[in-house]
Amino acid sequence: MDHVEHSSLQGMDTLVKWRRQFHRYPELGFEEVETSNFIRDVLLKLGLKEVRNVAKTGIEAIIRGKEKGPTVMLRADMDALPFQEETNTTYCSTVNEKAHLCGHDAHMAMLLGATKILMDEEIEHGNIKIIFQPAEEGLAGAKSMIRDGVLHNPDVKAIIGLHVDPSMPSGFISVCPNTCTAYSDRFELKVIGESGHAARPHLTVDPISISGEIISALQQIVSRKVNPLSSAVLTIGKIQGGHAKNAIAPSVKIEGTIRTFSRENREMIVKYMDQVTKGICEGFDANFELKLIEGYPPVINDPNLIPLLDKVSKGVLGENKMSIVEPSMGAEDFAYYTQKIPGLFYRLGTSNSAETSYPLHHPKFNIDEGALPLGAATLAQCALNYLQLFTITRQDTVLMNH
C-alpha cells in the first residue's frame, strides 16, 4: 500500500500536466479525437502492448497478470461540456463554448496515473482492463463501449470508477450502496395555440398564458401524486416562444427533466404530465405534443464491493476518510455497466478553497489538483485489492482440496 501511495505522489507534476493538457483542449462527445490520440500515446509510452480504439473515440487497454484470473475494469470519461468557461486560470479552455466543467479532464489524468502505478506492480493473477470512454454527457457513450465489446475478451467481472466532488474536501471519498443515482429522462412539450394581435386576444389562443398554467400544474404532480417518502424531481429547464411584444405567439416549447429512483414513479409522472397538459389545453382550445426522451438508468453499486473501497480508503487516505452517503438525483451512464456486471462508483473530494468549491457544470468549476494523486492511487489500489481477493480465495480453495 505504501508503494502505491508514494508512487502516485511522486508523479504529481505529471498528473497536473496531463490534466491541464485535457483542460486546455476540450472536445465534446464522440469528437474526442485529439484527446484519444494523446491518451493512446501516453499508454504506449507506459509500456502497454494491447491498446485499441472502441466506440469511435474511446480507448481500451489491458494489463495482464502472470497467471490467469478474473478481469477488473477501471473507467474514466473523456468528453467536455458545450459551455463557456469563466475561470482565469493559465490553463483555461482555449476553445470557445467548450470546457471541462464536470471534471472529466481530472478523471482521465487520474486513470492514466493509476495505469502508471499498475504497470509498476507485479500482478500475479488476473487482468486489469483500462477504458477511456467518450460521450458521457447525454450521449450514452457507455452503451457504445459495451456494444464494441469492452466487457469481453477477457470477460470483465467488475468495474470501478470515480467522479470528482467539489462539495467534499480533498482527501475524502464517499460512496452510496445499491441505487446511487436516478433515472434521468428528458421531455419536450409543445403547446400549440393560434397567433394574432396582442390587442385582440379574444380572437387568439395564447400558448404563453396556457403554458404558465401547465408549468404550475406540473409542479403539483411531484408534491401531490408522488409518495412523500419517495424521491422525484420534475424540472422545467427551458421555455421558448413568441416573436414580438405586441403579438400572441403561435406556440411555446417547454423542455425539462424527470428524475426518479423507481420505474413506477417514472411511469406515473409521465402519465399525469400527459393528463394534466391535456386537460388544461382542452379547457383553452389549445393543442399539445408531448415527447419523452429516455435517459440514463440508475447506477447500482454492488454492496459487496464497499468493504474493498473502505480498506483502500484507510490505506491510501487514512482513517475516517470514507463516508456512506444518500443517493444523488444526478445521472451517470456508468449505469449501463452496472446493469451488466458488479460495479463500484465512488466520489472523490476535490475542494480546498472557494475557487474549487463551485458545483459541477458551473462556468467557474475547478478542482484542487492535489486530489489527482489520491484519485490515481485509490483507483489503482481498488483494482489490485480486487485481484488480491481472488488470489486469497484461490489459495484457500487449494488448501481445502488438500
pLDDT at 5: 46
Please state the rounded mean pLDDT for residues 300-304: 97
- Is pLDDT of 186 > 80? yes
pLDDT at 3: 44
pLDDT at 7: 47
pLDDT at 74: 98
Give Cα separations from 371 to 121, 164, 199, 204, 272 (angstroms).
Answer: 22, 9, 61, 59, 45
pLDDT at 392: 66
Please state the rounded mean pLDDT for residues 103-130: 96
pLDDT-derived band at 393, boundaries 50, 70, 90: low
- Is pLDDT of 2 > 80? no
Judge if 2-181+298-401 and 183-296 fold alike in CATH terms: no
Please state the rounded mean pLDDT for residues 388-395: 70
Could you identify the residue written with the cell 404550475?
A: 216
Please state the rounded mean pLDDT for residues 360-364: 98
- What whole-number percentage of the chain has pLDDT above 70? 95
Please state the rounded mean pLDDT for residues 271-287: 98
pLDDT-derived band at 400, boundaries 50, 70, 90: very low
- Is pLDDT of 106 > 70? yes
3-state SS assignment for residue 223: helix
pLDDT in tens, 47-66: 999 999 999 999 999 999 99
- Number of residues that make up the chain: 402
- Range scoring the smallest mean pLDDT among 125-139, 272-286, 388-402: 388-402
- The residues near 327 (Cβ < 8 Å, ≥ 6 apart) are 176, 179, 180, 181, 182, 231, 261, 298
pLDDT-derived band at 11, boundaries 50, 70, 90: confident
For CA atoms 366, 367, 369, 372, the dihedral sign is negative
Question: Which positions are annotated as active-site residues?
Answer: 79, 136
Class of domain 2-181+298-401: alpha beta
Rg from Cα positions in the chain: 24
Are 58 and 76 contacting, i.e. CB atoms less than 8 angstroms apart? no
Expressed in percent and rounded to 5, the helix, strand and coil fractions of the chain are 40, 30, 35
DSSP 81: B
Q: Which of 193, 192, 191 is nearest to 205 (CA)?
A: 193
Backbone φ/ψ region at 51: left (φ over 0), alpha (ψ -120 to 50), beta: beta
Residues paired with 241 in a beta bridge? 252
- What does pLDDT average to over the chain? 94
- Is pLDDT of 138 > 70? yes
Q: Domain locations in the chain? A: 2-181+298-401, 183-296
Please state the rounded mean pLDDT for residues 253-270: 96
- Is pLDDT of 399 > 70? no
DSSP 204: S
Are 164 and 348 contacting, i.e. CB atoms less than 8 angstroms apart? yes
- The residues near 253 (Cβ < 8 Å, ≥ 6 apart) are 188, 189, 190, 191, 238, 239, 240, 241
Are 373 and 11 contacting, i.e. CB atoms less than 8 angstroms apart? yes
- The residues near 342 (Cβ < 8 Å, ≥ 6 apart) are 157, 158, 159, 302, 304, 305
Task: Give domain 183-296's CATH number out of 3.40.50.300, 3.30.70.360, 3.20.20.70, 3.30.1370.60.
Answer: 3.30.70.360
Please state the rounded mean pLDDT for residues 243-259: 97
